[in-house]
Structure 1
């Protein structure tokens, strides 16, 4: 009888430990999960207000402004339909340029300004992040459908 209770306690302890391990893994995964949105989706209110997410598109030509401190910059990310002002403090990637693809990670302020804590630029002339390419293609398609012919 005693060994039966010991086995039952051992099984319960193992199930409890497995449940805790699963909870810790899923919790860590949820905290590190970062979703991707286009400027059109951000303007439409689909992006989270108090959580990190990624925004991607093109850096609008003529929108890059460097602050006097030499570290802070602001620029506009566009999918050619909507625009979102982004601010970043830090060194930009060498390949970051106006008119080129960009993906930035950060949070949206109440004023609709995207505060980036990471900025990624494409790595060669033929590459664009798949999410950014898809977003731009979708924006072009939406724009062409919206135009009267």
Structure 2
């Protein structure tokens, strides 16, 4: 289901695990900062609203979405981190660069999750333009950061 048909900030709170002692790393791309900053706020607020203390949320910034995978790996290998949320935004451009970056980031984040047997969440927008990104970073389609945080929470209860 596309976000045009579902609000990214609307999710079921049924069967959420107790996460008050869990530690979350949120890795945020600085590229498209207006978008990723709003997504970070969504993820942070969702974690706080569901019982995570400020001290148990660690933010790390990286230059762009391509760097999310390595930073996620650095966070996931830490024994004190229970889940990693990756926040990024790659907007379609005029070249194939978009395709290569999106593919590399998706595969990289998946590989980190499997390697460390921890939730490593893909909170990366891949819109066609800036407006679509803003619509999904707290705009009319909700906030992908909210969705990424609730996904991390739910995966810890698996």
Shorter-chain TM-score: what band? under 0.3
Structure with bigger RCO (C-alpha 8 Å, 6+ apart):
2
More strand by share: 1
How high is the TM-score relative to the length of structure 2? 0.25
More helix by share: 2
How high is the TM-score relative to the length of structure 1? 0.26
